[in-house]
Chains A and B, each alone.
Chain A
Amino acid sequence: MFAYVVLEIRRTLRDTAFLVLGTGMPVLMYLLFTNLGGAGDYDEWKAASMVGMAAYGALVSAMSIGTGIASDKSLGWLRQLRVIPLGPGRAVLGRAVSCVVTVLPTVVAVLLAGALVNDVRLAVWQWVVLVLLLWVGALPFCLLGIGNGYRLTPQSTGVVNMACLMGFAVVGGLWFPLEAFPGWLGSVGEFTPAYGFAELGRSTVAAELPTAGPVVMLGAWLVVFGAYAVASYRRSARTV
């Protein structure tokens, strides 16, 4: 399975579109959002937005795996994988692991932009924990992407992924703080997976332990998206 993970990571990192959209865009958006206009608690916003954008970038990278899987499916590659001794479970797991790994550059790039360009100052342990949490917390979104990829065509995967991303980013408070929204939207937002994901990072920046709420919420979404991925995979195994 290790060889499969390596193969998939290699393929992902050679994808220029992936690198630009998944890594370049979040960095660019972060720098724009924090340096154009803006007022009030300037430094606080720079740190908060850094977490939000890193989370957003992680989401983009994680979910883009769906497009890859859908196109592999249409190329007959998934069928070819079924006739080598890899095994279906390891094929899916390998894909999930490679997905999580390719999230890392995005997270690191946005955090670097925060530290080097925007002068965000955190303790060393905070940086380390931030990277780890944003990295591991991306797993539910990998599973969502995988579920979409196995279920849908390449074109519809792209559309569905985009819709999910926009929804998550806005409602989960990745682009703008939830407080900026009307109250009802804010309370809906707290139930989205992206909000829980970003909360992990925000509490780290605030040097607090994350509260139980977001952790439980993210865990619940992990289970939901995991079930979705498995169901989609089973369905595709009958037709692939």
Chain B
Amino acid sequence: MCPCRPARTLRNVIGMTRTTGKRAAESQEPAGRATSTQAAGCPGADSTPPGPAVVFTAAVKTFGTPGGTVRAVDGIDLTVGRGETVALLGRNGAGKSTTIGLLLGLDTPDSGTVRLLGRDPESAVRAGLVGAMLQEGRPIPRVTVRELVRFVASTYPRPLPVAEALALAGVSAYADRRVDKLSGGQTQRVRFAVALAGDPELIMLDEPTAALDVEARRAFWESMRSYTRRGNTVLFSTHYLEEADGNADRIVVLDRGRIVADGSGEAIRHAAAERSAAAGGQVSVDLPDGGAKGLELLPGVLGVEVRGGRALLRTEDPDATVVALARLGAVRGIEVGRVTLEDAFLSLTSPPPSPPLSPSPSPDERAGHPKETV
């Protein structure tokens, strides 16, 4: 048992208590590996003090925009234990990237604190405790995968052997090709290799599968799972419920800079399913001339949201709502449908009774990322 790195054993405790059934069985596996790693390694006197991997205390970050300020992170309190795999789930603009930016010291909070492994983020990065895959990174020209990974590894105090890092990320097959000559899925995995090359305590992946097709996405998560089995703490962001559920021990749902739900995939799924049962359906129409004002008062309506020139009404009685809309003459482009699990989950992120009538532009969108309707 290694005295200088107590963190890795914690994972097993968390894994056992947090997961049930299928995944509890899997979590037996890291126990053996983590211990053997520690027994073999135990290097460096610069061990981090015990404690959680991540602590946010009332963190706030605002950005100035031409139309005023946006509170991208609006009072987040969050503790992530060592060895946990946590998904930050939310729509585009929910504050995921800003949260990760704060964690990496790329931004500093306006108020509140962010601590990483007992340090401020910048010094944790400098100490080589963190690896990251940023959202907007594109491959740099004229360098091979192996050269890139070797360089990044060399900056860390206790890196993985390069061959192992390449294998873990699943990029060995094209290690000697230039990174700017690879496909989107391959590039994404190279960036994953860069994040894990230093064998950091904590890795952060900002929307690691954005813009990947289904096949590449599946391959990516396979690599990712083989990495989490080593017992490292992983934090990733996504806007897919399934992806969060399938790959994280714990899901933190963000909306407009706040945490609106936090629990195991099962718990979130359950809450979402309950919503789905409670909410009978969804009616959407082109936004009436008078705007969405008053629509929430119509019979059966539980909540109203405006997205892309459409008014989306969650209703417990679709028929009554449609009749009422017809009376108002607001039936242009009307669509009626059942609330899906995904919609219900998203309803977690737009709590009634005050739906956003004009969603404020998020930092993500300002940066030119296309808005996606989930």
* Chain A contacts to B: CB under 8 angstroms: 3-4, 6-7, 10-11, 14-15, 71-72, 75-77, 79-80, 82-87
Contacts and interface: CB of A to CB of B under 8 A. Distances in A.
A212 B142 CA distance: 42
Chain A binding site: helix, strand, loop or mixed by DSSP? helix
Interface string B34-50: 00000000000000000
B140 A77 contact: yes
B104 A83 contact: yes
A14 B152 CA distance: 20
Given A3-B154, A76-B134, A87-B126, 6 more contacts: A7-B148, A80-B132, A82-B104, A82-B125, A84-B156, A85-B126
A75 B151 contact: no
B150 A3 contact: yes
Contact of A77 (B127, B137, B155): B137
- Nearest 3 pairs of A and B residues by beta carbon: A3-B154, A76-B137, A85-B128
Interface residues of B, number: 30
A12 B151 CA distance: 16
B194 A80 contact: yes
Interface SS of B by simple majority: loop
Contact of A7 (B126, B130, B143): B143
Contact of A85 (B104, B127, B147): B127
Contacts of A83: 104-106, 125, 130-132, 134
B125 A11 contact: no
A11 B144 CA distance: 10
Interface in B96-134: 104-106, 125-128, 130-132, 134
Nearest to B144: A10
B136 interface: yes
A71 B142 CA distance: 13
B142 A15 contact: yes
B139 interface: yes
B140 A4 contact: no
A218 to B, nearest CB: 32
B151 A76 contact: no
Interface in B243-280: none
Interface in B145-192: 147-148, 150-152, 154-157
Contacts of B150: 3
Contacts of B18: none
